[in-house]
């Protein structure tokens, strides 16, 4: 299931670049919007519910995609991950300021959908402490990635933007691994 979800998460971005290069802006944006909505539905089916972050991406794909089509400028669409990352950072910061780190708050719900032999792991006090640290660090990771993607959208061609956009996933994974191992 996780591999399917990862592939679905990458499809809208890659589809935009490929379809935009071959069929133009309108076709690229429509392909990305359709695939992002598919990602949202898959996320809902896999998890049985959705968190606020999973709703942000398809909404902004749709809104900024329609703005790009209306103004005939792909830059608005390319700023979707920038907006999503900034809003994600603000959401995480809001939970952090409220004293309820986002990942800690969602850990019980995520723990319930884990295989029975792994249930209880996410609510263990040591893991919750690491999730609190990770929730805090992700604020900065999202903001740095937003700046990088914005630069690529403004100054570089589509494939450089796709690379900048996709590098967010391994960076997130690396930060998660480091926090879980050393945090």
Rounded CA separation 107/181 (Å): 18
Kindly report the number of other CB atoms within 10 A of residue 41's CB atom: 13
Quote the pLDDT of residue 58: 79
Say if CB 28 and CB 16 are below 8 A apart.
yes
Closest alpha carbon to 165 in 179, 175, 177, 151: 151
Euclidean distance between the first and final Cα of the chain, in Å?
Answer: 27
* Domain parsing of the chain, residue ranges: 1-78, 81-183
Which value, to the nearest 10 degrees, does the dihedral of the CA atoms of residues 57, 61, 64, 70 take?
Answer: -170
| Tens digits of residue pLDDT in 116-151 | 898 999 999 999 999 999 999 999 999 999 999 999
Q: Which two tokens stand for residue 182?
A: 């050393």
Please state the pTM of the whole predicted model. 0.80
DSSP conformation letters of 14-60: HHHHHHHHHH-HHHHHHHHHHHHHHHHHHHHHHHSS--HHHHHHHHH
| Tens digits of residue pLDDT in 36-72 | 888 888 777 877 776 666 677 778 888 988 999 999 9
């Amino acid at each position: 299931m996780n591999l399917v979800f990862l592939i679905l998460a990458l499809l809208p971005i890659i589809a935009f670049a490929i379809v935009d290069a071959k069929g133009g802006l309108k076709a690229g944006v429509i392909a990305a919007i359709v695939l992002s909505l598919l990602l949202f539905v898959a996320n809902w089916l896999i998890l049985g519910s959705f968190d606020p972050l999973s709703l942000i991406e398809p909404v902004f794909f749709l809104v900024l995609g329609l703005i790009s089509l209306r103004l005939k400028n792909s830059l608005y669409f390319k700023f979707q991950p920038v907006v999503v990352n900034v809003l994600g950072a603000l959401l995480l910061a809001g939970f952090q300021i409220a004293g309820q780190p986002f990942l800690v708050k969602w850990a019980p719900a995520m723990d319930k959908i884990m295989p029975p032999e792994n249930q209880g792991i996410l609510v263990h006090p040591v893991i919750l402490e690491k999730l609190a640290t990770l929730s805090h660090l992700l604020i900065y990771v999202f903001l740095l990635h937003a700046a990088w993607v914005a630069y690529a959208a403004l100054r570089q061609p589509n494939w450089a933007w796709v690379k900048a956009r996709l590098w967010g996933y391994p960076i997130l994974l690396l930060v998660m691994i480091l926090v879980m191992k050393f945090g």
